[in-house]
Chains A and B, each alone.
Chain A
Amino acid sequence: NAGVTQTPKFQVLKTGQSMTLQCAQDMNHNSMYWYRQDPGMGLRLIYYSASEGTTDKGEVPNGYNVSRLNKREFSLRLESAAPSQTSVYFCASRVQGDTGELFFGEGSRLTVL
């Protein structure tokens, strides 16, 4: 019963460093999402992938890139980390479309110094 698995759970970076957050789901879902959660801001969509082979920008895509590696995996890359990217990142998946339950991972806490 893994559901949505994110790695790493915690990471500290220096400004300018790069890193990739990994996400995998075992529920055979078509759609996958990356959100960031900041105090007082709620969950904001960074990028999403409606289906394997497609990706699109969400509300706050600047400074990020994504790769839908296959149906199971959706990664988020920070090419040159900035302190403003300090946040908790959540990967989520859904059967398909934009309605229906979102299943979330446990989050990746990123601090950029």
Chain B
Amino acid sequence: QKEVEQDPGPLSVPEGAIVSLNCTYSNSAFQYFMWYRQYSRKGPELLMYTYSSGNKEDGRFTAQVDKSSKYISLFIRDSQPSDSATYLCAMSDYTGGFKTIFGAGTRLFVKA
């Protein structure tokens, strides 16, 4: 079993839809949770960064962390064609070893 599981998709939605992207994890030591966005043939870029449980909102994007369920989500409101990309979840623990684990990424297509 992988430490971080993420549905690879692809996920196709119409413009304006609410998108929900999810990851589950097995290591209860993870405390830092991130979402990266990766456009085709580009490197990943940080989209959202959350520490421990709770919600964080930034414009059309909301990140949720539920540590009790070992489940994180990224919601995109009013999705736009420019949101079409691969979204990777990532998480780190604080026990040393410079360990950041990435999910496999979910490909999202937003149709105009």
Contact A107 B42 (CB under 8 A): yes
**Could you tell me how many residues of chain A have their Cβ less than 8 Å away from some Cβ of chain B?**
23
State in angstroms the CA–CA spacing of A79 and B103 once bound together: 29
**Could you tell me how many residues of chain B have their Cβ less than 8 Å away from some Cβ of chain A?**
27
Contact B49 A101 (CB under 8 A): yes
Closest to B103 in A: A42
Residues of A within 8 A of B100 (CB): 45, 98, 102
Which residues 95-110 of A have a CB within 8 angstroms of B? 97-99, 101-102, 104-107
Contact B99 A104 (CB under 8 A): no
Known: A4-B43, A101-B49. A43 touches B88 (CB 8 A): yes
Question: Least Cβ distance of B89 to chain A in Å?
Answer: 9
- Contacts from A to B (Cβ < 8 Å): 4, 31, 35, 40-45, 48, 50, 56, 90, 92, 97-99, 101-102, 104-107
Other than A41-B104, A102-B100, give 14 A-B pairs with Cβ distance below 8 A.
Answer: A4-B43, A40-B8, A42-B6, A43-B90, A56-B98, A90-B44, A97-B98, A98-B99, A99-B94, A101-B46, A102-B36, A105-B43, A107-B42, A107-B43
